[in-house]
Amino acid sequence: MTARTVLVTGANRGLGKQVALEMAKLGHKVWVTARNAEDGKKAVETMSAEGLDVHFRHMDLAWPGSIGQAKDEIGDVDILINNGAILEKGDPLAVEHDALERSVRINLLGATHCLRAFAPGMIDRGWGRIVNVSSGWGSFGEGMDGPMAYCVTKAGLNALTKNASIHFPDTVKVNSVCPGWVRTSMGGDEASRSIEQGAKGIIWAATLPDDGPTGGFFRDGKPVEW
């Protein structure tokens, strides 16, 4: 694959950091973005020490202005991986109002604003890949039985994927990926998958060939029910 410019949100740790590392090892220039600047810079220092083309830019997904400022500094990217998210617990009656609003701002609107910032350049250049990191908890087909704020915002992220794929040309592929239950700070130590296993499907969607799918929901490169 031709070397591309990649942006990964929430890449200061866990799954996002692993995806950024693997994309850099494939020869791409990678922008690591995160709300926690200190952790983000440390992650980049570690990767840069391996001779990889990795850079840090602060981005707070909860605030559109922060995304716009990052876009102004970074410029165009070829591959956008919307990984940043939070997991707030609670059913529809128990979840705190502030937690619900934070989930919407970060998990759904943050990804939407990133797409709106970076997709136009992809369309103009005639090539792009957008990967929305979703979850089986955002699938109606898999029960929607997780914490309310997380389920609803991930379902919304899947809807964004489908809608964008309809409006974008086929040269700019937009897909949702469920990495599975991964051993991260969010997934916990009891999760069934390693970070490397979780990253694999995201890398697959980010590096799809020109005849690859768009507008789909995948786990391990295989379709998942919406």
Give a three-class secondary structure readout of 107-176.
Answer: HHHHHHHHHHHHHHHHHHHCCEEEEEECCHHHCHHHCCCCCHHHHHHHHHHHHHHHHHHHHCCCCEEEEE
Give the pair of three-digit tokens for residue 183. 């051993």
pLDDT digits (tens, 9 = 90+) for 122-163: 999 999 999 999 999 999 999 999 999 999 999 999 999 999
pLDDT digits (tens, 9 = 90+) for 195-220: 999 999 999 999 999 999 999 999 99
Please report the pLDDT score of residue 184 as a whole number: 84
What is the distance between the alpha carbons of residues 78 and 127, in angstroms, rounded to a whole number?
7
Neighbours of 177 (CB within 10 A): 30
Please report the pLDDT score of residue 1 as a whole number: 75
Which strands, in side-by-side order, build the sheet including 222-223? 54-58, 29-34, 5-8, 79-82, 128-133, 172-177, 217-219, 222-223
Q: Compute the C-alpha angle 47/49/51, nearest 5°.
A: 85
| pLDDT at 186 > cutoff 90 | no
What is the distance between the alpha carbons of residues 29 and 160, in angstroms, rounded to a whole number?
26
| Its pTM surpasses 0.75 | yes
Q: What is the mean pLDDT of residues 81-97?
A: 97
Domains and CATH numbers, the chain: 63-223 (3.40.50.720)
In Å, how far are 31, 63, 72, 83, 205 from 159, measured between CA atoms? 26, 21, 27, 16, 17
pLDDT digits (tens, 9 = 90+) for 98-107: 999 999 999 9
Please report the pLDDT score of residue 118 as a whole number: 98
pLDDT digits (tens, 9 = 90+) for 1-22: 799 999 999 999 999 999 999 9
Please report the pLDDT score of residue 50 as a whole number: 96
Percent of the chain whose predicted confidence (pLDDT) is above 90: 93
What is the distance between the alpha carbons of residues 128 and 8, in angstroms, rounded to a whole number?
14
Please report the pLDDT score of residue 106 as a whole number: 98
Q: Are 98 and 113 in contact (CB under 8 A)?
A: no
Q: What is the mean pLDDT of residues 87-101?
A: 97
